[in-house]
Structure 1
Amino acid sequence: MKGWLAGLAAGLLLFGCTPTAEESVQPSLYPAGEYHGTAMGYQGELEVSVLLTDSHIDEIRAPVCPETTGIGAVVVEQLPGLIVANQTLQVDVVAGATVTSRALLDAVQQAVESSGADLTPLLEEPEEPVSPSLQAQVTEADLVIVGAGGAGLTAAAAAAQVNPDLDIVLLEKTGAVGGDTLRAEDGVNAAGTSVQQQTGVEDGFERMLFDTLAVSGGEEAEPLEVLVGDSSSAIEWLAGLGIPLDALRQLDGSTVERTHFPSDGTPIGQALVDGLADAVQQAGVTLCLNTQATGLVTDAQGRICGVIAESPGVRHYYTGRAVILATGGFAANDRLCGSYRTLLRGLDTVSGDAAQGEGITIAQALGAATVDMQQVLLEPTVHRGSAQIVPRSLREAGAILVSREGEPLEADPLNDAALSEELLAQSGRCGWMIFGEGLLHLLPETLQPYLVSGEDPAALAQSAGLPVEALEAVVETRNAELPETADETGNERYPARLEGTLYALEVAPGIQSTLGGLEITADAEVIGADGNPIPGLYAAGEVAGGIHGEQALPGNMLTDLLVFGRRAGQNAAILLSQGENGDDV
């Protein structure tokens, strides 16, 4: 197929270069027709067909390429187009695929020779050198990990601990490690840790599992049991790497303090990424930045044997008997999110732009199963237009939310899931956050230019385009519910009261992260459509689904990437420590 596409591309390159009527009366260069040629490539015989007009080579097709997967394809994709566009065989070979390049050039020459045409025009040097835009490169490795966010870094560090002799390659499509993990703020949930014991917090497997199920709306399943059961050891493992999460907080949904974070004030995301990146570097893992995985390779038995990737100017084939996908979710892919739930289409995302779901796509090409693809985590109050999160602290302090019709929303303002769903059900899938002077200090300066304001409810309603009577009723009802002063002295007004200058900010739910993805086993193996694991393929982090149900307990997302990142790395390393038949090596 790629050979035919190469021919089509060559035809497009020729657009605008068709001989004019004046030129067409000149003597014919070639006998028109289709001719064939073959030459021995690196791994087999390469066949081409060449379509000639009386004046030029019109198309070159190489429908079957026996060469190294992904590498020979670079030759087939590029050289035919270069030959056709420049009408010469004097083009540079693809670096890293010299044998295949020479074979294709020889096969084209043989085909033209078989037509009886004079080869002289084809052997003339072009006025300017003609070079392929891509090189080809094969890199041998034992384990290839795709994605250098929190899950990928965890998997690399864990695999290197199991077998320090493994040749591990870590691919990252952006220019830096960390991914969305760098944005994490909450912490890591874990039950029964030494940190909890030292501070007198009573927690354990059953309690954390109960809290998780109460939030998720799901059913108890093995991957979730693994997440909870391995959570404590993940904290201890991090401490062993020099990443102590030695402070606790209690997040919404948890009945005790179980969310772990650094006591030195370092943001949890930064602490994890910095510490794990150091561990990976010390383990000698090869990190390849700006390298985008585009496909997975299997052998005749269906076992994973490598990854196809591209970096600027280079098509790579990374060999490896095991591959771990840690590419993150698809929160920034509007088309993909909208394909699973129409109401999500067009929403802002507060995830990184890199969350496009490519890991899911390339695994699906092998027949990988997916689960819970319609489930996402929504941030309920995101400013429409700037895609900035409006701080939860405003809702906690008493800011209210109304619809475009000026009616107060009924959902608990601190229940993110319920509030998000109610906002999605409103006209325009949005609403307005209303607050007074007493809460203005809670709004970040970057959001203040987007405020609309008014000296009274009527003026604010006019500024925001809300019905005046409806907003006046909301303000009156709200103030009647609140005390007038913040303390017994009566010197300070209650901050949540809607008095003085009033402010409004248009908000809507934004996509924070996705909960659906590749279906995995408790050992982080990717499951195929037949219900069995795909040999040698693992997944961890947001690329995997079926763990959190409809909602994730706050703090569980980082636990997820740590627990299953470790499991993926450990199990891949164990697999690679065995021979082809499962014997220890």
Structure 2
Amino acid sequence: MTVRNPVAPRAASEVKSYDIETDVLIVGYGCAGACAAHEAATAGAEVLVVDRAGGPGGASAMSGGEIYLGGGTPIQRACGFDDSPEQMAAFLVAALGPGADQQKIAHYSEHSVEHFHWLVDRGVPFKPSLWDAPAWVPPTDDGLMWLGENSWPFTELATPAPRGHRPTANDFGGKLLLDCLVHATESVGVTAQYDTYVTNLILDADGAVVGVVARRYGRELTIRARRGCVLSTGGFIDNDDMLAAHAPRLLGHTKVSAGTDDGSGIRIAQAAGAAVRHMSAGQVGASLIPGFAARGIIVNNRGQRFVNEDTYPGRIGQAALFRQDMNVWVVLDEQGYEEVPERERWGVRPTHVAESVDELDELVALPPGALAASITRYNEFASRGTDPDFHKAQRWLRPLTPPLAAIDIRAGVRPPSESGDRRGTGASVFTLGGLHTTLDGQVLDLNGSPIPNLFAAGRASSGLHGEGYISGTSLGDGTFFGRKAGAAAARNKAHT
């Protein structure tokens, strides 16, 4: 007996009638989906958004809310920074590579100021003030933050300028961002249907996408999309089978998602012949406090430094997982610990405290003398105000003096608003790879040709990223290219 592949496309000839019809169908109602829907509607299309959850949100609503914008935005200028699209692109190519999409980066950077104004016009607020210290998510409502632009090696590749734009909210701002975008989308006549899980694409005889099959409350329904379908269903961090096949290093860690990033949009498009890119790539949030790391040193299980501690913390996380298997410690002294305000510590306390380097060596069970050698070398350089090994900025260089503390990053951190056990592997991860798309969000097949009427945006697509990541590039990429995808779908001639 032949068993139908559960994600195989349905032939249009098998569909006798459609339960719902629309011009443009958006699958997934996070930030990318909201922006796609808005632009499709303002282009004159009838738009329906469906989401498997009971309302809009997804991973976007759970995020810090940072949007990577630059090139000379009003917020940058108000904070005293000059920037250009060329400098922004130079940084992103370096930070998001190898494999970063230089064409998308150049296009995004060129139109970044326009995208900032588009977001503001949709009601997203940004305060013209700078948070000027290392942090995952600042505890203030400052509208601008550094995301590694002022750390080595990027200082040698592009003129530093902060580009992390934050909606005006203390701590996590993703919910505010999403609420603004959803309100703007509803105001232009977009309708939404929830608790609806899309399981298959519907293709005509020429391979064009004409609709989808979905399930709602256990019942199958078909939705016709006369002009196009935009997949904005998120990544695949919640699908362990896909991780095992594509990104096994991401297995077994804390998942950064709303629990619905199962790769469904990617899989149904692949079943229709879609190509994918960078499926092994992932972002790693290391469970460390950036303010502690910058004021101390980060060492592996051999007691050796392996990264400059003042860089973007996600870069530290990738180095910690992919090169050190999360066997990583933050070592700092009492002054460094006390310099970080309590609200920025997220409840993290030292795992071990010792009156001497040798005692700390023994407590952490590092090779005898290894940590002492690393601290001695670091202190010698710090006293001269230079770090030839890893080029930490002079601002953070200071000799470490006993008593000393070591923090095992596997002990975990959790924002003050959350509760529960913090311990895990020390890594919180999500996927970066996805469907291969054009600048307009068209999904490409294995020959590099567009699949007619199929578009994708957000983490379901392979956007700006190669193997690297910077906070704000998911929301920036998703909102910008979501707009492009929605507008392109609306321009399609209605399929009869």
Structures share fold, TM-score greater than 0.5: yes
TM-score band (shorter)? 0.7 to 0.9
Which residue of the partner structure matches residue 117 of structure 2? 236
Deviation at 1:233, TM superposition (A): 1.7
CA deviation string 1:50-95 (max 9, x = no partner): xxxxxxxxxxxxxx998538x9xxxxxxxxxxxxxxxxxxxxxxxx
Contact 1:350–1:510 (CA under 8 A) maintained in structure 2: no
Which residue of the partner structure matches residue 408 of structure 2? 505
Which of 372, 393, 414 does residue 310 from structure 2 map onto?
414
The alignment partner of 1:140 has SS state of strand
Q: Distance in 1 between matches of 2:430 and 2:59?
A: 9
Which residue of the partner structure matches residue 123 of structure 1? none
Contact 1:520–1:539 (CA under 8 A) maintained in structure 2: yes
Which of 166, 191, 214 does residue 309 from structure 1 map onto?
214
Contact 2:353–2:403 (CA under 8 A) maintained in structure 1: no
Which of 280, 283, 294 does residue 396 from structure 1 map onto?
294
CA deviation string 1:182-239 (max 9, x = no partner): 2134333132434445666432322222222232335774322221222222111122
Which of 273, 277, 282 does residue 187 from structure 2 map onto?
282
Cα 1:465–1:540 change in 2 (3 A) is same
Contact 1:435–1:496 (CA under 8 A) maintained in structure 2: no
Deviation at 1:541, TM superposition (A): 1.0
CA deviation string 1:116-158 (max 9, x = no partner): xxxxxxxxxxxxxxxxxxxxx8222222111111101111111
1:330 equivalent in alignment to 2:236: yes
Q: Distance in 1 between matches of 2:3 and 2:405?
A: 65
Which residue of the partner structure matches residue 156 of structure 2? none
The alignment partner of 1:287 has SS state of strand
1:430 equivalent in alignment to 2:322: no
Which residue of the partner structure matches residue 224 of structure 2? 319
Deviation at 1:5, TM superposition (A): 11
Deviation at 1:360, TM superposition (A): 0.8
Q: Distance in 2 between matches of 1:478 and 1:203?
A: 34
Which of 519, 528, 546 does residue 436 from structure 2 map onto?
519
**RMSD value, Cα:** 3.5
Which residue of the partner structure matches residue 451 of structure 1? 351
**One-letter amino acid of the structure 1 residue matched with residue 148 of structure 2:** D
Which residue of the partner structure matches residue 488 of structure 1? none
Contact 1:456–1:502 (CA under 8 A) maintained in structure 2: no
Q: Distance in 1 between matches of 2:75 and 2:334?
A: 41
Larger radius of gyration: 1
Which residue of the partner structure matches residue 214 of structure 1? 94
The alignment partner of 1:323 has SS state of strand
Contact 2:266–2:460 (CA under 8 A) maintained in structure 1: yes
Which residue of the partner structure matches residue 375 of structure 1? 281
CA deviation string 1:509-555 (max 9, x = no partner): 63543332111111111111222111111111111115222324443
TM-score (norm 2): 0.76
CA deviation string 1:370-417 (max 9, x = no partner): 1122222222x23xxxxxxx222221222x223234x12232223457
**One-letter amino acid of the structure 2 residue matched with residue 323 of structure 1:** C
TM-score (norm 1): 0.65
Q: Distance in 2 between matches of 1:475 and 1:204?
A: 39
Which residue of the partner structure matches residue 272 of structure 1? 177
1:223 equivalent in alignment to 2:104: yes
Which of 567, 574, 577 does residue 484 from structure 2 map onto?
567
Structure 1 portions without partners, runs of 5+: 7-63, 72-136, 383-389, 484-493
Deviation at 1:243, TM superposition (A): 1.8
Which of 56, 59, 70 does residue 180 from structure 1 map onto?
59
Contact 1:475–1:498 (CA under 8 A) maintained in structure 2: no
**One-letter amino acid of the structure 2 residue matched with residue 327 of structure 1:** T
Which residue of the partner structure matches residue 124 of structure 1? none
Question: Where in structure 2 are the equivalents of 1:164-175 lying within 5 Å?
Answer: 166-175=45-54
Q: Distance in 2 between matches of 1:543 and 1:219?
A: 16
The alignment partner of 2:255 has SS state of coil
The alignment partner of 1:141 has SS state of strand
Contact 2:12–2:210 (CA under 8 A) maintained in structure 1: no
Q: Distance in 2 between matches of 1:539 and 1:423?
A: 31
Contact 1:452–1:504 (CA under 8 A) maintained in structure 2: yes
Deviation at 1:269, TM superposition (A): 1.8
Q: Distance in 2 between matches of 1:537 and 1:559?
A: 21
1:262 equivalent in alignment to 2:167: yes
Cα 1:530–1:173 change in 2 (3 A) is same
Structure with the larger RCO, 1 or 2 (CA within 8 Å, 6+ apart): 2
Contact 2:432–2:465 (CA under 8 A) maintained in structure 1: yes
CA deviation string 1:473-508 (max 9, x = no partner): 55566666667xxxxxxxxxx998453473432446
The alignment partner of 1:354 has SS state of coil
Q: Distance in 1 between matches of 2:31 and 2:464?
A: 17
Deviation at 1:286, TM superposition (A): 2.4
Which residue of the partner structure matches residue 60 of structure 1? none
Q: Distance in 2 between matches of 1:421 and 1:314?
A: 42
Aligned length: 432
**One-letter amino acid of the structure 1 residue matched with residue 277 of structure 2:** V
Which of 139, 143, 146 does residue 20 from structure 2 map onto?
139
Contact 1:464–1:504 (CA under 8 A) maintained in structure 2: no
Cα 1:341–1:329 change in 2 (3 A) is closer
Cα 1:220–1:545 change in 2 (3 A) is closer
Contact 2:352–2:363 (CA under 8 A) maintained in structure 1: yes
Q: Distance in 1 between matches of 2:324 and 2:108?
A: 39
Q: Distance in 1 between matches of 2:104 and 2:324?
A: 38
Q: Distance in 2 between matches of 1:235 and 1:422?
A: 31
- Which stretch shows the higher mean deviation, 231-240 or 501-510? 501-510
CA deviation string 1:338-363 (max 9, x = no partner): 43344333333334432222211110
Q: Distance in 1 between matches of 2:432 and 2:3?
A: 38
**One-letter amino acid of the structure 2 residue matched with residue 176 of structure 1:** G
The alignment partner of 1:571 has SS state of helix
